[in-house]
Structures are given as structure tokens and as C-alpha cells.
Amino acid sequence: LETALRESEKLAAVGRLASAISHEINNPLEAVMNLVYLMDQVLPESEQNTEVRSYIRQADEELKRMKLITAQALRFSKQSHGPEAVTCEDLLSPIIEIYGPRFKNYNVTVELRNRTDQHIVCMVSEIRQVLTNLITNSVHAMHAGGGRLLVRTREAMDTRNERRGIAITIADTGVGMDSATMTNIYKAFFTTKGLQGTGLGLWISAEIVARHHGHLDVRSSRASQRHGTVFRLFLPYQGAAGEDPAKA
Ligand code: ADP
């Protein structure tokens, strides 16, 4: 238990460091973005300036990417007020509502099968961030023709220590992952989405889940498009309340 605690403290410290650096980078970054914008504005139209303008545009693309990364780290640093008791429905329905239009755009049908009304104690905005990451990843993984997203909740038991809690599974019919991808998904900055991805979503999610004494598991295959990827989030009932959830 002691090593587990030390590990989660270490992860929390890394998270704080990441958000502190992001915060410091954000202001100069915005200043540079404005300057690049102004450069583009004042540059006279001429034959030889088209090359300069293409450099400016490339610089702007890279800056936007940095902005995406700092924004994601900063969102993570915004702590919620403290642990709150909520149901799975409380956690999930605002996300499904907010992302409704995006699901439509991607031709994704969503089904929520809620099999438990139990309350869990957690940092609500953090757990919502984890669920949002998982759900948006699923949507991104869907084929052009759309797909199906199935979100299931039920009571569950952590077999490793017989701690009870809830399990939320998010199953998609997307492209799936090969085993090489699977071994890297929790690493910071690992992404297969090129400039569209930051590779921070699952890294941050794993950190949040560890702090809640929960688990994040994944099953995926490339062979069967019907199954795509299934992420399972287990959270003990009192994961955010104390160091020994079994006794809380
Ligand atoms: P990002 O989404 O910015 O790439 P993440 O850390 O959220 O960063 O995800 C890392 C990688 O894990 C993704 O680039 C993708 O390759 C893979 N991945 C995550 N979720 C899924 C999913 N549901 N289906 C297929 N691949 C996924």
C-alpha cells in the first residue's frame, strides 16, 4: 500500500508540475501568437512575400498545437471543490448531452445502459474529464460511416482487494488498436492522430483514476470491427474520500 501511495503522490506531483509549466507558457505563447498574426497582417502582398507568408502560416500551425497541449494540461489543473457523492447518471448525462451534436455529426448512435443507482464519492469534474476523454476517443475512432457507442454502468468488485465500487464500460465500433498501440496509449504525448492529437488524454486520465484508487482497463482488436475498443473504468465507492476506501 505504501508504494502505491508513493506512486500516486508522485503522479500527482507530475500533474501539478505539468500544469504549472503550462500556465507559465500560456501567456508568452498567446503573445507570440498575436505577434505572428500581426506579422501576417502588416506583410505587404507581393511575389517574394508569399514564401514568408507560408513560413508564418506554418509557425502559426505549430503554435496552435502548443496551445492545444497547454489548454489540455490547464483544464486538468482546475481542481474541483472536493469529493462529492454522485451516481453514474449524474456523471454521464451532462457529457452525453453536451456531445449530442458531435455524435450526430459523426453519425454515432449512443446508448446508455445504467444498471446502478449507487453513489460514489469522487472529484466530479476530474472523473467527467476521464469519461469525456474516453468518449471523444471512441468517437474519433469510428469509421467514416459512423458507428455505435455503448456506455454501461454497474456495480463491480475489484478482485485485487475485494473493494466494491462501480464499473463504467465504454465500447465503440471504431478502428480498434493493434498491440503496439495498446502498450503505448498511457504514455504522455503518444498519439496516432498526428497534429489533431495531443497524446495527453489517456495519460491524464490514468493519473486521475490512480488518485481515485481505481483502474482503467482496455480491450481492443483490429480483427473485428464489430467490437472495436472497450475501455472499462472501475472506481471504488469511496475512492476520493480517504486512503483506505474499504473502511471509509
Ligand atoms: P489523443 O486522443 O490526443 O491521441 P489519448 O492519450 O487520448 O491522446 O490517446 C492516445 C492514443 O490511443 C490515440 O491516439 C489512439 O491511437 C489510441 N486510442 C485511444 N482510444 C481509442 C479508441 N477508443 N479506439 C482506438 N484507438 C484509441
The cell 469519461 sits on which residue? 131
What is the C-alpha separation between 205 and 199, in angstroms, rounded? 11
Ligand 1 pocket check for 149: Cβ under 6 Å: no
Q: Which are the contacts of 145, defined by CB distance < 8 A and separation ≥ 6? A: 107
Side chain identity at 114, as an amino acid letter?
Answer: N
d(CA 55, CA 78): 35
Kindly state the cell numbers that stand for 44: 505587404
Protein residue whose Cα sits closest to atom 21 of ligand 1: 137
ipTM of the complex in this document = 0.99
Q: Which of 133, 116, 114, 115 is nearest to 125 (CA)?
A: 133
Quote the DSSP letter at residue 239. Answer: T
Q: Which three cell numbers stand for residue 214?
A: 481505481
Q: Is 82 exposed, middle or buried (0-12, 13-18, 19+ CB in 10 A)?
A: exposed
- Which amino acid is present at 151? V
Instruction: State how far the Cα of 234 lies from the Cα of 220, in Å rounded to an integer.
Output: 17
Mean pLDDT, residues 32-56 taken together = 94
Q: What's the CA-to-centroid distance between 190 and ligand 1, angstroms? A: 8
Confidence label for 85 from pLDDT (cuts 50, 70 and 90): very high
Q: Which atom of ligand 1 is nearest to the CA of 181?
A: 16
139 CA → ligand 1 middle, Å? 10
Question: What's the predicted TM-score (pTM) here?
Answer: 0.75
**CA 215 – CA 167 distance, rounded (Å):** 9
Residue range 106-126, pLDDT digits in tens: 999 999 999 999 999 999 888
Is any atom of ligand 1 closer than 6 Å to the C-beta of 138? yes
Q: Whose CA is nearest to atom 16 of ligand 1?
A: 192
- Quick: pLDDT tens for 206-234: 999 999 999 999 998 775 545 799 999 99
